[in-house]
């Protein structure tokens, strides 16, 4: 049995952190579904920037759509939604079979809206309506300004993937925003079954402290943060507050491990996949990590709901001079800025290709 199938059998969903037209057109995504037990897909501005910049697959649609689009952003979202609705159709049998637990794809609002509550909410509602797919998440960053947009989007019935979470505290704030949206729906007599996932970024922690801590702590911070967050997740699911919502028909906002490709060339290429095996969670990973785990992965000890030794490990980092809270805030700000940079590159790429095609015609 393939390791990917084993970890899926354990109760963890494997999602692909990538999308390209070649992936869709070549049948590779369908093979990942059939052979590697992939049950969902995520995207972000960096992924689309690479996909559009490094291929000619989008050129015809850019040429044909440029005159009709209201802006570069509008043209890009038309391109992205074409891809993601195709992917959503591939995952639809999984979505139906699991009654909406799995089989999702994700599209992010413009990263420039990370600190704009009202425009984030408006964009989320617009994009979900344009997609017309019940198994499409809209991604909103879990910044302080993003949290009210998340709550309001859930209340409006828009499925949300909360992105750019880096700490247990940021996860809890996002989970509470989700629950507030659900509780408002219950109070208003609306169906509280609105799906959501909360995406905790893992590997960037270890990149941030690389070379700044003792050797024995190398590549251990991201996993310890994930352990602490998994404990909070388990406690929330067992809480009277969530149980009351569940009794009214609500479902849990599932915890998703993001940024799980290994960045350290000296470390195992399946480091974060093996370490973060846990029931009722999702691990979204790039193609290379997925293939590596399918080839030589193994499923070891699953995460403990009590957090295991995470607090001991985090204390060791504190003694080594790492301010966890300050670093979490910095990583979220840097993550948002990085996506804005990718977004700007993406918009420039779309504009450049569009201009070149107008000139050629």
Q: Which residues have a catalytic role annotated?
A: 139
**How far is it, in rounded angstroms, from Cα 41 to Cα 43?**
7
**How far is it, in rounded angstroms, from Cα 67 to Cα 75?**
9
**How far is it, in rounded angstroms, from Cα 210 to Cα 14?**
27
Q: Are 189 and 224 in contact (CB under 8 A)?
A: no
Q: Which of 358, 352, 359, 357 is nearest to 76 (CA)?
A: 352
**How far is it, in rounded angstroms, from Cα 124 to Cα 143?**
15
CA 262 vs CA 12, 180, 185, 252, 284: distances in Å: 19, 35, 40, 28, 13
Q: Which of 166, 227, 221 is nearest to 199 (CA)?
A: 166
Phi-psi region of 296 (alpha: psi -120 to 50; beta: other; left: phi over 0): alpha
Q: What are the b/e assignments for 284-320, b being 16+ CB within 10 Å?
A: bbebebbbbbbeebebeebbebebbebeebbebbeee
């Amino acid at each position: 049995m393939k390791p990917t199938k084993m970890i899926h059998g354990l109760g963890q969903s494997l999602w692909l952190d990538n999308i390209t037209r070649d992936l869709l057109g070549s049948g590779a995504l369908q093979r990942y579904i059939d052979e590697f037990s992939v049950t969902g897909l995520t995207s972000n501005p960096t992924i689309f920037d690479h996909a559009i910049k490094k291929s000619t697959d989008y050129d015809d649609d850019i040429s044909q759509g440029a005159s009709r689009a209201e802006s570069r952003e509008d043209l890009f979202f038309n391109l992205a939604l074409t891809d993601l609705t195709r992917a959503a159709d591939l995952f639809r049998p999984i979505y139906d079979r699991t009654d909406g637990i799995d089989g999702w794809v994700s599209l992010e609002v413009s990263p420039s809206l990370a600190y704009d509550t009202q425009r984030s909410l408006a964009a989320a509602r617009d994009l979900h309506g344009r997609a017309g797919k019940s198994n499409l998440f809209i991604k909103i960053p879990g910044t302080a300004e993003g949290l009210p947009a998340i709550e309001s989007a859930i209340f409006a019935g828009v499925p949300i993937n909360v992105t750019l979470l880096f700490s247990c505290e940021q996860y809890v704030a996002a989970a509470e925003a989700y629950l507030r949206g659900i509780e408002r729906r219950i109070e208003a007599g609306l169906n509280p079954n609105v799906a959501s996932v909360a995406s905790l970024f893992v590997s960037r922690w270890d990149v941030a402290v690389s070379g700044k801590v003792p050797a024995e702590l190398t590549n251990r911070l991201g996993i310890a943060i994930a352990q602490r967050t998994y404990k909070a997740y388990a406690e929330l699911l067992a809480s009277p507050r969530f149980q009351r919502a569940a009794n009214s028909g609500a479902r849990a906002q599932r915890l998703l491990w993001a940024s799980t490709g290994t960045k350290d060339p000296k470390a195992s290429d399946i480091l974060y996949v093996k370490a973060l095996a846990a029931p009722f969670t999702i691990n979204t990973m790039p193609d290379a990590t997925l293939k590596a785990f399918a080839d030589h992965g193994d499923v070891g000890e699953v995460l403990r709901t009590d957090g295991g030794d995470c607090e001991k490990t985090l204390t060791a980092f504190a003694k080594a001079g790492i301010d966890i809270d300050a670093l979490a805030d910095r990583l979220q700000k840097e993550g948002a800025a990085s996506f804005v940079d990718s977004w700007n590159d993406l918009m420039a790429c779309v504009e450049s290709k569009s201009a070149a095609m107008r000139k050629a015609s």
